[in-house]
Structure 1
Amino acid sequence: MSSHYHGHSALGRIVNEIEETAIAIILGLMTLITFVNVVLRYGFNTGFIWGLEAVTILFAWLVLFGISYAVKVTAHLGVDAVTNLVPSNVRRAMTVIAAICCIAYAALLMKGAWDYWANFANLPQTTGRWLPTGFEEMSRTSYRSWYEVVDIRMPEWLRFIEPMINEGEHYEKLPRFIPYVILPFGAALLLFRFIQAGIRIWTGAQQSLIVSHEAEDAVEDVAHLNRED
């Protein structure tokens, strides 16, 4: 991958490593769990009862990591038919406006993601309709950390969280706040990537939020194959 897409700051390099490592691990785990479950089901008439739920959660994590990663490599599809018709200075202004809109959207998404996840983590939601203005006061009736997933059993090595998050109560299944943590984390990654892209557009280091032209590339590939024939 071209170094054009990689952040030069220490934070940028750390985020790169997190995204790429997480995506590789998630893909590997999804493939392994699915393969083993198929072998067990058709070969031994058994299987992991938690397999489908685990793969579903991993797929959700993959999507949320992939959204921010695609912003980094400018792989999101977009329509530039209009912007290509206007002068370069107008095109740049439109691109800056688009970047600002994306940053605003990611900020709203992060607020909503935090508020949703906080329900399951015994943490306060933010106040304010659009922008966070503070945190709500919590009572014991607000705690939702006892919510569990359907099939995935609680790993023994995570029992240490029970006194801290569930008042010492025993979990039978994995608490939901663990898989749901990807919501605020993924939204934070997306916000970071849009801010990073916005800065690059403002400084002239990047011309657009999108580079991918999937349809045009596919037509060109077919034409190339026809020429070879």
Structure 2
Amino acid sequence: MNTVRLIWDRFEEGFIVFLLATMTLVTFVYVIFNNFYTFFYRVGEYFAERSVGVSEFFYDIGDVILDIVQTMTWSNALTKALFAWLIFFGLAYGVRIGGHIGVDALVKLASRSTQRFIAIIACIFCLVYAGLLSVASFEWINTLLQADIGADDLGHFGVKQWHIGMIVPIGFTLVFIRFVEILVRVIRHQQVGLGLADEAADAMKLSETEEHKK
């Protein structure tokens, strides 16, 4: 079980890195091409009165790059789709690593039994929220699946709207599973709070580390 969990954790991290890297690469290529063709046009203008053949050569290169840019309208749509996947897939990852604002800082001032009770109530609310959105988004995806509508600027690649939107129910389902895990750990006394990030405690630890270095 631990091996499966480790594999999933590594896949989760790797998939998030993949989404970020792909978004960056697509944007980088588009920006480069979108500005590169002007360079060849300027070089072509420079040689216009000196050598017509050389000038036409650089103009042709500029035209080719411009054609590529004009056909890359899909890059913006792809970046938006990847960003949507990053957000909804990252929801569960954020719960896992406690990547939240330290919302339970005040709760930690209470006794451990009170903290545990509040954590159970909070988990139940989070489970209800994630469960409702999971069911609603599954119904939404089913509607898109039946409509079989192509995604904007990506439809000619065979990408449908439901292909992009399916990450919504997947993301909330993963969030639901994460909070089930937290609830089980709290009930078993393996965990007190929700495991959310405590920024104040992190700041104190950092301060203590800096003092030791001095």
* TM, length-normalised to structure 1: 0.70
Q: Secondary structure at the match of 1:148?
A: coil
* C-alpha displacement of 1:181: 1.1
Q: List structure 1 runs of 4+ shifted beyond 6 angstroms.
A: 222-229
**Corresponding residue number in structure 1 for 2:86:** 62
Summarize the Cα distance change of 1:216–1:90 in structure 2 as closer, same or farther, 3 Å threshold. closer
RMSD over aligned Cα atoms: 2.6
**Corresponding residue number in structure 2 for 1:22:** 15
Summarize the Cα distance change of 1:222–1:206 in structure 2 as closer, same or farther, 3 Å threshold. closer
Is 1:102 the counterpart of 2:96? The answer is no
Summarize the Cα distance change of 1:149–1:82 in structure 2 as closer, same or farther, 3 Å threshold. same
- Which is strand-richer, 1 or 2? 1
**Corresponding residue number in structure 2 for 1:152:** 154
In the TM superposition, what whole-angstrom CA distance separates every residue of 1:2-40 from its partner, at most 9, and x where no partner exists?
A: xxxxx7373x34542442232121111101101101100
- Which is helix-richer, 1 or 2? 2
Name the aligned partner's letter for residue 2 of structure 2: H
Summarize the Cα distance change of 1:226–1:56 in structure 2 as closer, same or farther, 3 Å threshold. farther
Question: Radius of gyration: which is bigger?
Answer: 2
Instruction: Indicate the percent of aligned positions where both proteins have the same amino acid.
Output: 28
Which stretches in structure 1 are left out of the alignment for 5+ residues?
1-6, 123-143, 156-172
1: distance between equivalents of 2:194 and 2:130?
14
2: distance between equivalents of 1:36 and 1:219?
43
Is 1:71 the counterpart of 2:95? The answer is yes
2: distance between equivalents of 1:221 and 1:206?
24
Residues paired across the two proteins, number: 183
2: distance between equivalents of 1:81 and 1:19?
28
In the TM superposition, what whole-angstrom CA distance separates every residue of 1:41-85 from its partner, at most 9, and x where no partner exists?
A: 111254221111111110110011111001111222232243123
2: distance between equivalents of 1:68 and 1:189?
6
Which stretches in structure 2 are left out of the alignment for 5+ residues?
39-65
Q: Secondary structure at the match of 1:150?
A: coil
In the TM superposition, what whole-angstrom CA distance separates every residue of 1:100-124 from its partner, at most 9, and x where no partner exists?
A: 11111111110111111111112xx
Summarize the Cα distance change of 1:204–1:227 in structure 2 as closer, same or farther, 3 Å threshold. closer
